[in-house]
Amino acid sequence: MNGKKNTLIVVHDKNFQEILSNNRIIVADFWAEWCSPCRAMNLLIEDLSNIYAEQVLFIKLNVDENSITPSKYGISSIPTFLIIKDSQVMESIIGAVDQEMFENKINKYL
């Protein structure tokens, strides 16, 4: 990949639904500042957002600052990652996982 194209963006309750209208697959990262596993996943999520820059949009939503969206999607533990295609949740990943497992989940929907 020539150059880094950052497809990792911060979203909020007010623009989450709008982002879902994007035509690409979306990986939504539900996290919080105080969450150690969330922080442990940050580098992996940044790396994946660069690897899949042309195909997948990675978004981050802080659950402490936004309560409506996590509630709507039944997020009860963090980190939780939702893989969304055509505005539908295809799959969720809960907790810290390794890169191979994450990529296998993403690749099922490409």
Q: Which residues are tagged catalytic? A: 35, 38
Measure the CA dihedral 26/39/53/21, to 10°. Answer: 20
Q: How far apart, in whole angstroms, are the C-alpha atoms of residue 56 and residue 66?
A: 23
CA distance 45 to 99: 9
Burial class (CB in 10 A: 0-12, 13-18, 19+), 67: exposed
